[in-house]
Chain A
Amino acid sequence: MRLGEILPGTGAFAVVQRNYRVWRKLLVPSMLGNFGDPLLYLLALGYGLGHFVGRMDGVPYITFIASGIVASSVMNTASFEGLYSAFTRMSAQRTYAAMLATPLRVSDILAGEVLWCAVKGLISAVAIMIVASFFGAIQGPWIFLAPPVILLAGLSFGGLALVMTALARSYDFFMYYFTLVITPMFLFCGVFYPIHSLPPFAQHLAQVLPLTHVVALLRPLLTGHLPHAAFYHIGVLWLYTLTAYVGAWRLLGRRLLR
């Protein structure tokens, strides 16, 4: 019974469909937000900083940074969707309450939301990959393996964000999450420089964070290699995804079914 309740059903796709329909209406501003920022980082740092750095880990700096930017934009897009947008749907718009009056269950809503976070992450990542490929900043035969990794990354960041959303009393709460979790990952998980340049304790810390594993998978794939220890990184991301899902399911259930 309990297991049946936590496993999502096909209703999750109706939730994805709802979000997709809304997103399609606001396509231009939404894309600009998800895609403009990372592109500016890519060009400014790739060319500006790249001029002084030259090569990093054996590739031109813009190539090095492109995969990092793809990874961090998945993190940002999925997190933003799972925090601010999901919280708006849950509290201000009471969309979850409306959904719960239908056969949809908390697990369907949650799975739909997390899946949508991943899809949005994928959309922005693909857009950046297309532009980056014009600059020759991503290349190689393994690019087509990137989307499944990106989706998995989106699931774990989306799941973590929904844990926060299930706990949040107001939007202010999310500032802590950004300052204490998202921004450190952005800066210390190998987006801009390889992790081995950090002091050892920081390296260990970085190993615990999900973005590190996303970068470890995406950087080789987008520069023409297969990643080392790929299954280990994939395993860590699945662990994050499933743990976050179970946590968010409990918290949301407690919040919505009172």
Chain B
Amino acid sequence: MSPRWEPVAPAVNPVFLELRTLHKRYGTREVLRGVDLALARGECFALVGPNGAGKSTAVRAIQGLTPMDDGEIRIGGRGLIEMGRTARAIMGVVPQADNLDPDFTVQENLWIYGRYFGLSKPLIRQRSAELLEFMALGGHAGQPIHALSGGMQRRLTIARALINTPQLLLLDEPTTGLDPQARHLIWQRLRELRRQGTTLLLTTHYMDEAERLADRVGIIDHGRILAEDSPRGLISVYIPGGVVELRRVDGEPPDPQNLHRQWVRASERVGDTLLCYGPDLSPLLAHFAEDPAYQWLQRPASLEDVFLHLTGRDLREETEYAAR
């Protein structure tokens, strides 16, 4: 048998969505300052960051709805600009601010949205029946939008975003303002979509949401990605070990002599609380737990600790004023 060359399989690009050094200015203000991001097909990526960090701007950029000052976006290996509107044909979008059509019922909202995608009427009928079921809105098909609760409207917005069976789903704060029941339902559904192979990019202010849903989390602030990794990876790199929160019952600053320093890897004072981080905090606790003047809480490090560590504890409105 003579040797044969096997046909070389085309290099599979595992990257589905790619943002390269994205820059965006509004006036003199730089809102995105070189954002790089790469999502694998079928991945769920969460973008977290303080108010005004640039999350929504990035989401709009991916839809091609905001002109960029520099950088490039590629989807499935093709440039977004060259794809034109075909890019949006494979996307579903849940915007930060609801924009359901108030002149229509639940059912009609799905119908007209399908028409915007140019889908056929029978296909829309079939998809909307499935989606109403999927998002637990089956009994509300004929209701007007204003009769729906906030949670139901959000679920409908997600259902609407799925009408074209998107390959890429962009969710800008999908569960903000919802009760735990609604959030859990939405999480279930998003995980199910991920299992079916949909690539998900979501933004959120809820660290538990990012931790539960995302394969990887990117922390963005002032238009830059500060860190990105799996939730566990971020925690183990930035806050290895556990956390102890110390407070004095009388509200005075805890541990004025800074005795804790000998037992911790890092610490910070936030208002009336002393936060101690370290791999083994038992000597610290042995010292303070017995003292009746102290209240304490021991807990594992969380994504929120990483977030606050990287983005600081200032309120955004204040830093904005300071910057002016």
Instruction: Please give the residue numbers on chain B whose beta carbons come within 8 Å of chain A beta carbons, in ascending order.
Output: 26, 63, 65-67, 84-86, 88-89, 91, 93, 95, 97, 99-104, 108, 112-113, 115-118, 161, 164
Contact = CB atoms under 8 A, between A and B. Distances in A.
Closest 6 CB pairs of A and B: A94-B99, A102-B116, A101-B93, A98-B99, A103-B85, A14-B115
Interface in A222-258: 256-258
A100 B65 contact: yes
Given A101-B93, A102-B117, A258 B112 contact: no
Contacts of B117: 102-103
B116 A103 contact: yes
B95 A105 contact: no
Given A14-B112, A18-B112, A103 B101 contact: no
7 contacts: A18-B101, A21-B112, A93-B102, A95-B101, A98-B113, A101-B63, A103-B116
A11 interface: yes
Interface string A58-97: 0000000000000000000000000000000000011101
Contacts of B102: 93
Given A14-B116, A25-B103, A102-B113, A97 B95 contact: yes
A81 to B, nearest CB: 14
Nearest to A17: B115
Q: Is the interface of B mostly helix, strand, loop or mixed?
A: loop
A103 B92 CA distance: 11
A102 B86 CA distance: 9
Q: Which of A18, A22, A97, A104 has the most CB of B within 10 A?
A: A18
Given A14-B115, A18-B115, A103 B103 contact: no
B47 to A, nearest CB: 18
B107 to A, nearest CB: 12
A56 interface: no
Interface string A2-17: 0010000011001001
A45 interface: no
B192 to A, nearest CB: 22
Contacts of B99: 93-95, 97-98
Contacts of B113: 98, 102
A14 B63 contact: no
Given A4-B84, A14-B112, A98-B99, 18 more contacts: A14-B116, A18-B115, A21-B108, A21-B112, A25-B103, A93-B101, A94-B99, A95-B99, A97-B95, A98-B95, A98-B100, A98-B101, A101-B63, A101-B93, A103-B86, A103-B116, A257-B66, A257-B67
